[in-house]
Amino acid sequence: MCGITGYFGKNGTENKLREMTDMIRRRGPDDEGFYTAPDVGFGFRRLSIIDVAGGHQPLSNEDGSIWVMLNGEIFGYKILMEDLMARGHGFKTKSDTEVIAHGYEQYGDAVFEKLNGMFAIAIWDASRQRLVLARDRLGKKPLYWTVKNGTLWFASELKALLAAGVVDRDIDPMSLALYFRTDCVPTPRTIFKNSNKLEPATAMAWSDGHIEKTWRFWEPNIQPLKPQVGSDGDVVSALSGLIDKAVGERLMSDVPLGLFLSGGLDSAVVAESAARQGGRMQAFTIGFDDPTHDESGAARKTASALGLDHHVQILTANDALSMIDQATQLLDEPLADASILPTLLLSRFTRQYVTVALSGDGGDELLLGYQHVPAHQLMNAVPRPTSRVAEKIFKPLLDLVPAGNGYFSLGFKAQRLARGFGASDPWSRDVRWRGAMTGTDLSTLLLPEVSQAADVDYAEKQLAERAHELAAHYVQRTADDGFWRQWSWAYLRTFLMDEVMVKVDRATMWYSLEGRAPLLDTRVVEFLINLPSAYKLRKWKGKRLFKEILSGKVPRDVLEKPKHGFAVPVGKWLNSDLAAELNELTSEQRLKNQGLFDPNAVRRMVMEHRSGRVDRRKEMWALFMFQLWYDAWAK
């Protein structure tokens, strides 16, 4: 795992290239490398994982006509290397990066179709004076770009472009609204105007001072839905085999490798496969002294059953609070996912022992594991006229349930459920349930001129757009199956990519740790999206597929344990440990100077949360983190 920076155009300079590269030093503390030629520059920070001695980047093909940088890993690259060697290509290293150089030389733009992995890639084709950028199929690795005075600039993180002074710090109102609706800034936007994230499964070529072309090199292989895809045992066996292949490829490393282990099923499935294929593995768990937020007991049982070398660190709320400053430094775009704090703690703890860690990310999106899935099932089954009657009866009652500080407290769930009433479609309902603010709340929070410059309801449209991307690939068998396939895809392309994977990438790379997610292997993703929803809901609900894989290998009480997220008690903190800082960050004078938020609306929300009547933890945390981000990066 590494960091890349670069430019192509007459306004690029080596000094700016080095400033950019130095800004992302934590992504790669082991080595740095540069390539410069007239009007082009590549900068690289390396975290040595594969071919530690020979994998220096940027690197080239035999005659130096093609130069490549890779942030990430190409899994199964040795097969491609053997094919290229058979075609006459000579290799100087054993690295996956050199495969890309020779692959581009052999296959041209089609090379990306042959790459399975997590990557952001930059290729300089000197003979054609052409720069090509590409991002992996599910957007696991970041890649930012912008154009300034005819020069294209790119980097692994937005902060590198800020360091070069090629991005003006003008907040984009639409991105601001999306942040408060979805807890993140979705691709392809960034929080600042005139800067972009490259879309996943997408490559872009730049030449002669303009974009030559942009193309998608992968679409999910979606099959027509079938009521039965085999016996239950066949389905479990097929899934287990695909997970084994994905895990096996990700066990390749020339440096120490371990596992993130929570008390849940996703990380346990990955751990079971890794332990069976890789021998005695090291696993890492953090727990909290607050029992409502601690899963370390279940993780211990899983580790013992699988024969893992288990490392556990029990932390206090103050340990998590101490990570807020770190989060502010690393998040060059605002992110309202409070689990960034325990993820930072876990990454710091794990990096003391290993350089690579496998995680269970992706299981909830692919197996419909989130807490609001049953609510969707219920609402989808209720006819629209009936739901309007239910709204009138139950919404006032649900809103009266007092807020609580516990993990997914009754008040939080009740008030969130009430927010979904009246939504025009399931995508609008989903955003209301999951995001920080409703469109109505946000239009009140923002000053009129800011709200008018943004579409406060665009988040629902974007989720629906992502969901409908899949509709062109198949004919729905039933409305239910069609909805859940689209829901999984929409979540992979929004929530997982722009919130979960951003959190994991930034937290792990802050401590120079590489994270790998076997459940997001393309073969696993396509298998589970193509699987009828009957294997994820009804009698198969609660990730029974994973339970079947783990049956007899992990204690039954672990398998039947209710789902528990990686959470911290932000609702409580905002009324106690962080109350004074929240007051300062939302003071009337500060808000007037900032020119984004209505001070009266902000004060009303703060007081509602403190009263205990309305659970505003997500709204207030989103505002709290935005203000910290603003002071660090926007001023």
Per-residue pLDDT, averaged over 240-248, amounts to 97
How far, in Å, CA of 570 to CA of 251, rounded?
36
Tell me the two tokens of residue 604.
């009303």
Helices (H), 4-58: 14-23
Token pair recorded at residue 118: 């997590």
Residue 393 has pLDDT above 90, yes or no: no
> In angstroms, how far is CA 60 from the centroid of its own chain?
31
The phi-psi region of residue 39 (left if phi > 0; otherwise alpha if psi is between -120 and 50; otherwise beta) is left
177 within domain boundaries: no
The answer, yes or no, to whether the previous bond of 38 is cis (omega within 30 of 0) is no
CB 482 within 8 A of CB 533: no
Per-residue pLDDT band for 174 (boundaries 50, 70, 90) equals: very high
Please check whether residues 303 and 197 belong to one and the same domain. no
User: Same domain for 420 and 439?
Assistant: yes
| The pLDDT of residue 380 | 83
Nearest to 44 by CA among 27, 65, 61: 27
Q: What is the pLDDT of residue 334?
A: 98
Least confident range from 31-40, 296-305, 455-464: namely 455-464
The mean pLDDT of 562-573, rounded to a whole number, is 81
Q: 490 in a domain, yes or no?
A: yes
Grade residue 421 by pLDDT with cuts at 50, 70 and 90: confident
HSE-CB at 145 with a 13 A cutoff on CA atoms is 25
Query: Mean pLDDT lowest for which of 284-293, 301-310, 476-485, 569-578?
Result: 476-485
Q: What percentage of the chain's residues is helix, strand, coil (to nearest 5)? A: 50, 15, 35
pLDDT for residue 293? 75
Is 80 exceeded by the pLDDT of residue 565? no
Q: What is the 3-state secondary structure (H, E, C) of 167-195?
A: CCCCECHHHHHHHHHHCCCCCCCCCECCC
- Position 475 confidence tier, pLDDT thresholds 50, 70, 90: very low
Q: Is residue 35 part of a domain?
A: yes
Q: By the 8 A CB rule, do 443 and 482 touch?
A: no
Q: Tally Cβ neighbours within 10 Å of residue 349.
A: 18
What CATH number has the domain bearing residue 34? 3.60.20.10
Whether the per-residue pLDDT at 478 is higher than 50: the answer is: no
Dist CA 350 CA 190 (whole Å) = 30
Sheet containing strand 144-148, edge to edge, reads 31-37, 40-46, 2-8, 151-155, 144-148, 196-197
3-state secondary structure of 25: helix
Mean predicted confidence (pLDDT) in 393-416: 70
Please give the Cα distance from 157 to 330 (Å, whole number): 10
Q: Are strands 117-125 and 66-74 parallel, antiparallel or unpaired?
A: antiparallel
pLDDT in the model for residue 477? 45
Cβ atoms of residues 454 and 174 within 8 Å: yes
Q: Tell me the two tokens of residue 226.
A: 């079938």
pLDDT of 566 reads 72
Residues 206 and 232 in one domain: no
Average pLDDT of the segment spanning 390-411: 68
Contact 124, 42 (CB under 8 A): yes
What does pLDDT average to over the chain?
91
- What would the mean pLDDT of 32-53 be, rounded to a whole number? 90
pLDDT confidence bin for 222, thresholds 50/70/90: confident
How distant, in Å, are the alpha carbons of 429, 431, 495 from that of 487?
A: 12, 12, 11
Q: Residue 289: give its domain's CATH number.
A: 3.40.50.620
DSSP strands (E only) in 129-251: 130-135, 144-148, 151-155, 196-197, 202-207, 210-216
Which residue is listed with tokens 């020339």?
A: 254
Burial annotation 306-330 (CB, 10 A radius, 16+ → b, else e): bebebbbbebebebbeebbebbbeb
Which among 126, 130, 120 has a CA at the least distance from the CA of 100? 120
Can you give the pLDDT at residue 413?
Answer: 74
Dihedral (Cα; 318, 320, 323, 328), 10-degree rounding: -110
Q: 206 and 242 in one domain?
A: no
Nearest to 129 by CA among 210, 197, 196, 198: 210
Rg (C-alpha) for the chain, rounded Å, is 24
CA atoms within a 13 Å half-sphere pointing along the CA-CB vector of 347: 25
Shared-domain flag, residues 338 and 437? yes
Determine, yes or no, domain membership for 181.
no
Length of the chain measured in residues: 635
Phi then psi for 630, rounded to 5 degrees? -60, -45
The span from the CA of 622 to the CA of 435, in Å, is 10
**Is 183 inside a domain boundary?**
no
**Cα–Cα dist 342/290, whole Å:** 13
Q: Which two tokens stand for residue 384?
A: 């629209």
Within-domain flag for 186: no
Whether 366 and 446 map to the same domain: the answer is yes
Query: Is 343 in the same domain as 465?
Result: yes
> Closest Cα partner for 502 from 361, 295, 617, 370?
361
- pLDDT above 70: residue 423: yes
Q: Going by C-beta distance under 8 Å and a sequence separation of 6 or more, which residues neighbour residue 202?
A: 134, 135, 214, 215, 216, 217
Query: Do 314 and 333 lie in a common domain?
Result: yes
Asked if the structure places residue 182 within a domain, the reply is: no
Q: What angle do CA 139, 140, 144 make, to 5 degrees?
A: 60
- Rounded CA separation 451/459 (Å): 14
pLDDT at 589 over 60: yes
For residue 385, give the 3-state DSSP assignment.
Answer: helix
Our count of domains for the chain comes to 2
What per-residue confidence (pLDDT) applies to 1? 66
Q: Could you give the CA distance from residue 251 to residue 139 in angstroms, rounded to a whole number? A: 21
Cβ atoms of 546 and 362 closer than 8 Å: no
Residue 42 DSSP SS3: strand
CA distance 443 to 458: 12
**Cis status of the peptide bond prior to 58, with omega within 30 of 0:** yes
Q: Is residue 115 part of a domain?
A: yes
Percentage of the chain exceeding pLDDT 90: 74
Same domain assignment for residues 150 and 48: yes
pLDDT digits (tens, 9 = 90+) for 286-323: 998 888 778 899 999 999 999 999 999 999 889 999 99
Distance between CA atoms of residues 300 and 293, nearest Å: 15
Under 8 Å between Cβ of 4 and 161: no
Both 143 and 241 in one domain: the answer is: no
Instruction: Say which residue, 195 or 567, is predicted with more confidence.
Output: 195
DSSP-based three-state secondary structure for 131: strand
Please check the confidence at residue 80 and state whether its pLDDT lies above 60: yes
Q: For 105-154, how does the pLDDT look when each residue is reduced to its tens digit (9 = 90+)?
A: 999 999 999 999 999 999 999 999 999 999 999 999 999 999 999 999 99
Using DSSP bridges, classify how beta strands 257-260 and 356-358 pair: parallel, antiparallel or unpaired. parallel
Question: In terms of domains, do 393 and 530 share one?
Answer: yes
Whether 163 and 252 map to the same domain: the answer is no
Single residue among 155, 183, 216 that ends a domain in this structure: 216
Max CA pair span of the chain: 74
332-363 pLDDT per residue, tens: 999 999 999 999 999 999 999 999 999 999 99
Range of the domain at 373: 220-635
